[in-house]
Structure 1
């Protein structure tokens, strides 16, 4: 099974992805175990790219919403953020035919270099302008180099590329392998799939000894290897090879395969790499997300095991005490006669004469031991040992046994109740773990549309409406996403989302304007102020400018509107938030009730109120579950609902469709 990228894989990947990497802005950095995940942003692309650097394995770009847990490995993560966040990737290069990639970064006024080693025991590190390591995933000390902060970075020892070797050198390097294939891999540095392919192209038996290979074969092998590499880099044919449904390798060309292997083709080599390692990424995300939960489950399980041990001991003692009590009850007359005799004998003749009392009763009873210092003797009767005391009568012994039975029964009951509570807690945590796993898997498979990072809706007439979630998004919408013919909306209040209607050059009717105005009104300070309605104005994008009039100052995040403003009066602050099925995933949608109701599996209608967004979101998820939409409730992230809520609110309606019972809720 293939575990890492080869130098050819890297060469093909860089050729394919370089245009996305160079010029990209590093928006954020996350640490997943030993992997570094860079969230990239480009001016010419909508949405984010996620660059995954996994030392010793791979580099790849994914478009899935990774959403790494931000609370774990915070110290290490913060150091990486200080070093590379807000940097621009100026260029990317590969070290010869080696598994080492350099990302050259411009970080403010400084130049840094991010190194990704994909060879075994590889690392990722950041170098300063002098080439010294300032940050590293893991320090290493090897016979040929030392990698740790403060020392000059030294790349792994490189071999002379096979393309630069003479025929004699190639023959000599082939002899480092036990057979021809191993010689090509070890001596020439060819990836195994390339070695297999060129041997077949030259019609040579792969098991032949390198010592028996003449110069003509060597020249053929070199020529075919160069030809294959050149063709693959120019025109890759990416695929993943599966055997019995299990992925065995990813390749930039179709390799020689075993019989029964299934080959799945991909348009991009990056897609093949991303798909191949998706399961590993899922495992790492789950591991980080559930680290505390798994630790809590382990702790609870130990407590349950301890309770089970204590219950077992208590139940064993309870059984013994109950048996003694039963014997005492059924043979009371006999035991009372014996006890009176023993008490009389001890007082008159001493402990040595106690056995004489046996003759005065039945033969199936026996004094099996005495402890004069404690005033006790042991009676064996019906297979049960009873400890009797000459200073106490049998009624007291009987009452002690009854009391002990009661104590043990109470102990067992309490312990079993505690065990049940702990088991229920464990089951709840395991359910939460399973939901988290399912949600992470679902999220990795989902590819959100570019506009979903904003507030957005589609009007009844099919126009896309997008609104900024903060000041930076407001400016970004106007500068990067709004076309001259698009419509810009804003609530007539200071502090509100900028709303864009993407017209595509079409005329916009009154209904569309009023539907879009709902977002402008609701995502404004009017909501937090508790307004019932507010005016909204709209203009064309070409009327908006970021330049203040001469002699005036324009605050950061503000813009000027020139020309006539068109007003929509009295837009009600009433927002519907729901969940729709979109392709093979669910997503949160917002807008006026008329647009949301047409698409949503379930939705709620909000007005300004006094319940915080987090509580409203949790209530909505719970209502989904109660309505029978359990899968939706498990897969939708409560935070995705919460961020769509404008502020403290009140639920005035909840409705689930598809035959499910609708619920009206005036209290939230």
Structure 2
């Protein structure tokens, strides 16, 4: 359905910024992605809310997104520069500037302060300022007295008056409607003005000059009231299309859908527009790649055709030598005597001056270095090796022709590969490359490390001491099995049995999982893992002692399991969507043949995640490659226990 609001208004941004303050202040920036020429995602982390993704589209919006938009494998250079500058920084504050559609995030990194300035309107922009100078800008601009480019101070857009600064004369000295007057003079969105007029029971077409002093006071009070009204985020389907508001607008009629937060409403409202832009950007890059391939193919085809003509010419020259064998033999005999008597330089001079006599008069050129003469036979210049028999010259011509034909054969094979790549790209263009995203609803256990055993049991493990505590207090049931490694820093692992008998294979897999996510991975050592029943675990320490967070007292018999290895496999399964699974190799192998295994090693987590994705891309069926490309390497990184090596199989 048609969306009526193409970008957030200053009023919308007022509410978004207030929500973001409670969500991202303070947060650490962990990564930056560029989804299209103008759309960015800033990934942040804080202890209260975990990982969040801030979507910044300077033409439309800023908000927390819960949609897994595809992130490019190779970031554009603009993104890489911004990433280098602000990754690892802390977001200290976020403010809206003067009720404008301008948002400023204050960042701190290495004792330096940065301002990330977001201009959110049709010709919006993203600017990074340090020491009152622009150090990064999405789009350099120069309009009137406003110049935005690296090295210059940031100049804000034209600031309109504060609504509180309006006086009666401002209203009297205009022939504009009240809505237009407030938009031009104080930047008050037209939709908000209409809502205010509706609530004050004033004519929406009223002229600014016709408004009484009392009505002006009421209007200013109503603006303050609406700024302080409790948020009630909603998307409204009207007869003209969809619109979005942070509060319920009484002036509008239509079907209203309420949302818990305005961030969520904005995320939903602009989703399809964002998908279209990302799809077009990806399609554009595919078209560019297809164009480059066509150019390469055209050049290669021309080179191959040229080489074929050259090989054909060499064969014809060899045939002409064979047909004139007697003439060439006599020539070579006479040439030998001439060289013996007068030398090569004399011959070169005579040929150049046209002073040679038959049979040497058919020589037209000489290569003194290689002792080759070019003779004219049937209007064709043919090279002959002067100090060899004519058969050697014929053989040399055929050999060179064969070498060229072999080079062309290899060229044809390469050309075939290029044409296949082009065909694949053209097929993708024809089918269109619309990005499909789905908000994934996470199961309760997905915040932990988890896998499904080859026997079908859910196995979950704490990511840290806090999660170990949460597992113990909330999720362990009487019939479950609990595992722990004999090493400090082991996760608490739980096999959810639901009253079923657990087989040996599940216990081995759960043990490998426990050891792999313990400090044993970092130490690259095999450790003992044991299992117990829930009634053997206690948080009550002996008198006079203290239990640290995430620690437990185990009583009774510990059932030890000998594990064969420390290894984690990461694979792909296709259900409704393509999903990542991980765990011990036997568990992953029971569900998919597309997986990669890793073990403790020396390759950092970031590089390992890239290697895993690359290998998965090589293994999966062609029909799944597009969907796999949408899976972020960051998602894979969260599954890797530490420095690793890839186990090739």
**TM-score, normalised by the number of residues in structure 1:** 0.59
Superposition deviation, residue 10 in structure 1: 1.3
Distance 1:432 1:538 in 2: 56
Contact 2:448 2:461 in 1 (8 A): yes
Contact 2:571 2:581 in 1 (8 A): yes
Alignment-derived partner of residue 559 in structure 2: 568
Distance 1:438 1:537 in 2: 55
Aligned pairs for 1:374-413 (under 5 A) are: 387=379, 411=404
Alignment-derived partner of residue 268 in structure 2: 271
Superposition deviation, residue 580 in structure 1: 3.9
Contact 2:41 2:55 in 1 (8 A): yes
1:39 correspondence with 2:43 = yes
Alignment-derived partner of residue 535 in structure 1: 530
Alignment-derived partner of residue 100 in structure 1: 102
5+ residue gaps, structure 1: 257-261, 337-370, 378-384, 469-473, 652-667
Larger RCO, structure (CA 8 Å, separation 6 or more): 2
1:421 correspondence with 2:414 = yes
Alignment-derived partner of residue 158 in structure 1: 159
Alignment-derived partner of residue 245 in structure 2: 252
Aligned pairs for 1:478-497 (under 5 A) are: 478=468, 481-482=470-471, 484-486=473-475, 491-494=484-487, 497=490
Contact 2:44 2:51 in 1 (8 A): yes
Q: Residue 155 of structure 1: SS of its match in structure 2?
A: coil
1:77 correspondence with 2:69 = no
CA separation of 1:581/1:266 partners in 2, compared to 1, >3 Å: closer, same or farther? farther
Distance 2:632 2:303 in 1: 41
Contact 2:148 2:154 in 1 (8 A): yes
Distance 1:187 1:116 in 2: 22
Q: Residue 42 of structure 2: SS of its match in structure 1?
A: strand
Higher alpha-carbon deviation: 275-284 or 615-624: 615-624
* Aligned-CA RMSD value: 6.5
CA separation of 1:434/1:145 partners in 2, compared to 1, >3 Å: closer, same or farther? same
Of residues 442, 452, 467 in structure 2, which corresponds to 1:477?
Answer: 467
CA separation of 1:403/1:586 partners in 2, compared to 1, >3 Å: closer, same or farther? same
Alignment-derived partner of residue 341 in structure 2: none
Aligned pairs for 1:502-541 (under 5 A) are: 511=502, 514=507, 516-524=510-518, 531=526, 534-535=529-530
5+ residue gaps, structure 2: 260-264, 327-353, 364-376
Superposition deviation, residue 58 in structure 1: 2.5
Alignment-derived partner of residue 187 in structure 2: 189
Alignment-derived partner of residue 466 in structure 1: 461
Distance 1:192 1:541 in 2: 64
Q: Residue 277 of structure 1: SS of its match in structure 2?
A: helix
Superposition deviation, residue 421 in structure 1: 0.7
Of residues 480, 491, 498 in structure 1, which corresponds to 2:491?
Answer: 498
Q: Residue 511 of structure 1: SS of its match in structure 2?
A: coil
Alignment-derived partner of residue 137 in structure 1: 137
Q: Deviations over 1:578-615 (max 9, x none)?
A: 54446544231435857984xx3557797989999888
Distance 2:421 2:539 in 1: 56
CA separation of 1:213/1:413 partners in 2, compared to 1, >3 Å: closer, same or farther? farther
CA separation of 1:314/1:532 partners in 2, compared to 1, >3 Å: closer, same or farther? same
Superposition deviation, residue 319 in structure 1: 8.2
Distance 1:389 1:157 in 2: 77
Superposition deviation, residue 276 in structure 1: 2.9
Distance 2:413 2:234 in 1: 57
Of residues 40, 65, 89 in structure 2, which corresponds to 1:62?
Answer: 65
Superposition deviation, residue 233 in structure 1: 7.6
Aligned pairs for 1:59-458 (under 5 A) are: 59-65=62-68, 67=71, 69=73, 73=77, 74-81=80-87, 85=89, 87-90=90-93, 92-104=94-106, 114-119=116-121, 122-125=124-127, 132-133=132-133, 135-137=135-137, 144=145, 155-161=156-162, 165-166=166-167, 168-170=169-171, 172=173, 175=176, 185-186=183-184, 189-191=187-189, 215=210, 234-238=231-235, 251-252=244-245, 267=259, 268-281=265-278, 302-313=295-306, 387=379, 411=404, 414-415=407-408, 417-422=410-415, 424-425=417-418, 427-428=420-421, 441=435, 452=446, 455-457=449-451
Contact 1:94 1:102 in 2 (8 A): yes
Superposition deviation, residue 18 in structure 1: 4.4
